[in-house]
Amino acid sequence: MAARALWTGSITFGLVNVPVRIFSAIHEHKLQFHLVHEKDDGPIGYEKICKLEDKPVDNDEIVKAYEYKKGELVHLTDEDFEAVQVEGQHTIDLEDFVPYEEIDPTFFAHTYLIGPQDGAEKTYALLVRVMEESGLAGIGKFVMRNRQYLGCLRVRDRALTLEQLYFADEVDPPSGVLPTRLPAVGKRELDMALNLIDRDETASMVALRRGAYTSVPVATIMQGVKRVDVDALYDEKRYRPLVRQVDGKPMFLY
């Protein structure tokens, strides 16, 4: 199945315009649990309740509201949101180019892959080559789901990648969690710590490449499984984090 685009628009800077599509770059391995009724496994649902009347409310009676001061609300309509739509709904406007390594990783929020629209392969390839040759990353703004974001455009594995960034006023300084003064560290302690870091570096990189799954919830799940076709389960993609091949046979990780 072809990847589904999250956003369609253009990368622009100067007179250059590159039609592109944005795709998700991340898929996390998560165990998904359901809330069910213990006695009959019935799925649990939730009603929208008015807390003042303690009664369910229909969707057509629900509106968005903003609390501008304690206990004071103003209701907002779809027309209100349309009236304040941010400019640049379908463009990634690059405003500057900087060395990628100079960007503090704290500012990175989310990663997207960028592919060319049909017919834009040539200009896309040109932009990739230019950015590879320069060694720089593009910084600009883009709008997704009616909100403006700061972004960093870079090349990874000969493809454009967009890093959504936090704005400067969204990142807290570390001063709030540090004591007034840190204690001094002796050379012997420093050398021992450096040796530990060097020893663990290779193992850490292997873990990053392979991915790691916590065994605690898996063991708990398996205690509750009485009858299961392990071979069939191994073939289902969503269960593969729980199962690994051992001596040519699928086995649970517990």
* pLDDT of the residue at 94: 92
Contact at 8 Å (CB) between 66 and 73?
A: yes
Q: Which whole-number Å values give the CA distances from 70 to 49, 64, 66, 237, in the listed order?
A: 21, 16, 10, 49
Question: Boundaries of CATH 2.40.290.10 in the chain?
Answer: 7-26+85-169
Six-digit token pair at 160? 């454009």
- Longest CA pairwise span in the chain (Å): 69
pLDDT at site 174: 84
Per-residue model confidence (pLDDT) at position 199: 64
pTM: 0.67
**Confidence at residue 196, expressed as pLDDT on a 0 to 100 scale:** 79
CATH code of 7-26+85-169, in short, is: 2.40.290.10
Mean pLDDT by groups of 10 residues along the chain of 254 residues: 84 90 86 89 92 92 90 86 70 92 92 95 94 93 86 94 92 84 87 77 52 49 51 46 47 42
Q: What is the pLDDT of residue 215?
A: 45
Residue 179: per-residue pLDDT: 84
The neighbouring-strand residues paired with 43 are 36
Helix (H) or strand (E) holding 49: strand 49-50
Residue 213 neighbours by CB under 8 Å, 6+ apart: 29, 241, 242, 253
Residue 40, CB half-sphere, CA atoms under 13 Å: how many? 3
Q: What's the pLDDT score for residue 11?
A: 94
In angstroms, the Cα distances linking 30 to 84, 128, 134, 211 are 37, 33, 38, 12
Output the pLDDT for position 205.
52
Q: Which of 142, 143, 144, 130 is nearest to 97 (CA)?
A: 130
CB 236 within 8 Å of CB 229: no
Residue 81, pLDDT score:
73
